[in-house]
Structure 1
């Protein structure tokens, strides 16, 4: 809020979250649930992961930007794209996902993709 130079009332108006609830978040009385984090991050134009205190870029990635990232010439995604996706996960069908579980999933995906890349490179060398 301070970085965006917003009052709690203005943030409440922009996010659709009652000012008293925002006040409770600021004081640490409650932690925002995923849907509220999304609303706050959108209103503040910051990433949800950054808002939660993760060491990620502050800038919000807009949906059209995410689509553009997948429209690169060869359809590449980067390791950073994978990190950003998994940092944003909070739950699966109501079951909370811990940081350790997110790290395991992120590393599993990266390992799988690296093995596929190595296999592809090996096959191309044979040609």
Structure 2
């Protein structure tokens, strides 16, 4: 499972450099006021979900990476989750992490990091148990 390895402000600075933008240009492209971007960079505030999404989109980085998680920096597109390396529609543990890290709310109710972790771990545990049962039944054949 991914864990926090950096701060939002450090990742935002790195993302701005990675994208080759100024804070002013990031503000213009994201629609977030320049003073708020400055506050984020100084660590005064952390972006809320809607602003985090806009920043990540403009910087072309994943939201989870921008939040400080130990995940790939590059932004993944929905079609990449559907077309995994296996080519047969299988999802990977990384796909599950990416999906749950990106959740923000359900019907207007905020989803906390703890809730995301619980859901992510529940799905992974379920799938691993199904895999083990499948392997066990194959051995009995």
Same fold flag (TM > 0.5): yes
Superposition RMSD in Å: 2.1
Calculate the TM-score normalised by the size of structure 1: 0.83
Unaligned runs of 5+ in 2: 1-15
Is 2:84 the counterpart of 1:69? yes
User: Counterpart in 1 of 2:24?
Assistant: 9
Unaligned runs of 5+ in 1: none
Compute the displacement of 1:124 (Å).
2.5
Query: What is the rounded CA distance, in whole Å, between the counterparts of 1:68 and 1:14 in structure 2?
Result: 30
C-alpha distance after superposition, 1:72-103 (max 9, x if no partner): 22x21111111122222233334333333322
Query: What is the rounded CA distance, in whole Å, between the counterparts of 1:14 and 1:68 in structure 2?
Result: 30
3-state secondary structure, aligned to 2:136: helix
User: Counterpart in 2 of 1:120?
Assistant: 134
Matches within 5 A, 1:3-42: 3-42=18-57
Which of 28-37 and 63-72 deviates more?
A: 63-72
How many equivalent pairs are there? 126
Calculate the TM-score normalised by the size of structure 2: 0.76
